[in-house]
């Protein structure tokens, strides 16, 4: 007697509220998992600058690299600043 095929695993749906750096990073990481659907919800209707900057430290760049997103991020070169 052969065994019956097992039913397909149930799809887990995940909602991420906010499409900022943390929300998008979480969505990228979760989208690599099997049987998982990720939905992102953002209040803003259009992308625009808000006057804030984002600093990405060494570990942040490593995470972006692991997620496969580091090549698409542009920044400026570090310059030396004299503090008095």
pLDDT tens-digit readout, 58-74: 888 888 888 888 887 76
Q: Tell me how far CA of residue 38 lies from CA of 24, 28, 29, 34, 61, in angstroms.
A: 10, 9, 10, 11, 23
pLDDT of residue 40: 95
* Mean pLDDT of the 73-84 span: 64
Indicate the domain borders of the chain: 14-44+56-69
* 19-41 tens-digit pLDDT: 888 898 899 999 989 999 999 99
Six-digit token pair at 70? 């580091």
pLDDT at 35: 92
Q: What is the mean pLDDT of the chain?
A: 82
- Provide the token pair at 54: 């984002």
| Alpha-carbon separation of residue 24 from 8, 10, 30, 75, 77 (angstroms) | 28, 24, 10, 18, 24
């Amino acid at each position: 007697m052969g065994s019956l095929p097992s039913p397909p695993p149930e799809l887990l749906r995940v909602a991420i509220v906010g499409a900022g750096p943390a929300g998008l990073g979480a969505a990228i990481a979760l989208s690599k998992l099997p049987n998982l659907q990720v939905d992102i919800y953002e209040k803003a209707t259009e992308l625009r600058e808000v006057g804030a900057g984002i600093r990405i430290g060494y570990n942040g760049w490593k995470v972006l690299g692991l997620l496969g997103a580091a090549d698409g991020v542009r920044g400026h070169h570090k310059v030396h600043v004299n503090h008095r």
